[in-house]
Amino acid sequence: MAAPHREQKAESRTAVFAVVTFYLVAALAMVMANKWVLNATDAPLFFLCTQLFIAVVLFAISDAVGILPDKLTFDFKICKGLTSMVGLNVLSLSFSNFTLQYVDASFYQVARGLVLPFTVLTSFIVLHSRPSLRILIGCLVVTMGFFVGVFLDGTQVSLKGVSFGVASSVITAIHSVVIKQSLEIVDGSALLLSWYTNALSAMVLVPVFLLAGEGPAAAGIIAGVDKTISTFIWGSLLTGVIGFLMSIASLLSIKVTSPITHMVSSAVRGVAAFLLGVWLFGDLVTTGRATSVGLILAGSIYYTWVKHKESQPASSTTSSNDASYERVKMNDVETGAPKERD
């Protein structure tokens, strides 16, 4: 009887390793590919719209061949109920792209470093969820990391980029609360919510990028006369495919990862993003910037650990640990690292 148990355990470890590895590689590729394209294009909103349309097409193809666990629908009543969700998603992704356009790839995590404190504050105001002292300590460490990187490092940073980063953090925090309510509209299906959000956000972005004055740049890219067309096409395809795969993989991540795995992978992802920014784009490395990233990661990891501990009863089993962590991840929408389409 022991052999099947060991085999099942090995398969479980393989699944965890596969999911975590995919998330690390995909999240890092998403950020770096976005930065690569945003350095070259004058149409960041059109780029985002293209990414989303590619993801929508892949959703439709996957549904047509029957590989998705839930059948995709398009109900106008659901669309109406998701209006707030879609609006916030468009703003969040747009501001994230603007942030990445104006700051270094290695500094991006610092510019958006206030997501966690704003999320806790939003939960307190909207959901009346009173944070514990340990949660506040985690938020304080993260906030210190942000201020060290922006004000105490001595390195010149883009005020516009930091402003977009702060705005993005606020909207992402509000977004995390709205997601909880939006899941009820689609009967708790994260897959359907991702499908509706991507499809509706892509539609909304069409008039948005035109009103933002990106029409001429978009026309040049579509006509093939823009000199950045090659970078734009390959970057859009890469990030669109990765965004779709991450939407699917999020379902697996909730089921197979543990709090310790999540904390370790978040730390590795943060450090790797910093180092890749330095290596690929020649970003400046300073003691203050490295300290800032370290503080934000430490505070986020501590928050995740505390949140997990507070979500389970004193006498818990392995299964209850998994269930409690699933609730933490769904309720907080992985606050420490909001879906790395950014």
Rounded CA Rg of the chain: 20
**Higher confidence at residue 209 or residue 261?**
209
Which residue would you say has higher pLDDT here, 209 or 27?
A: 209
Closest CA to 40 of 229, 243, 302, 197: 229
Planar angle of CA 76, 199, 180, nearest 5 degrees: 75
pLDDT at position 340: 43
Task: For residue 69, give both structure tokens.
Answer: 């666990």
**Residue 307: exposure state from Cβ atoms within 10 A (0-12, 13-18, ≥19):** buried
pLDDT (0 to 100) of residue 94: 94
pTM above 0.85, yes or no: no
Q: pLDDT tens digits for 107-155?
A: 888 999 898 899 899 989 988 888 999 999 999 999 999 999 998 877 8
Answer whether residue 332 shows pLDDT above 50.
no
Mean of the per-residue pLDDT values of the chain: 81
| Residue 322 banded pLDDT, cuts 50, 70, 90 | very low
Note every long-range contact of 155-159, with CB atoms under 8 Å and residues 24 or more positions apart, other chains counting: 155/284, 155/286, 155/288, 155/289, 157/103, 157/107, 157/111, 158/102, 158/103
- Is 272 in contact with 293 (CB distance < 8 Å)? no
Residue spans of the domains in the chain: they are 26-332
On the question of pLDDT at 3 being above 60, the answer is no
Contact call for residues 243 and 341 (beta carbons, < 8 A): yes
Give dist(CA 154, CA 95) in Å, integer.
Answer: 25
- For 23, the token pair is 């998330």
Distance CA 245, CA 127 (A): 31
How confident is the model at residue 225, as a pLDDT?
A: 78
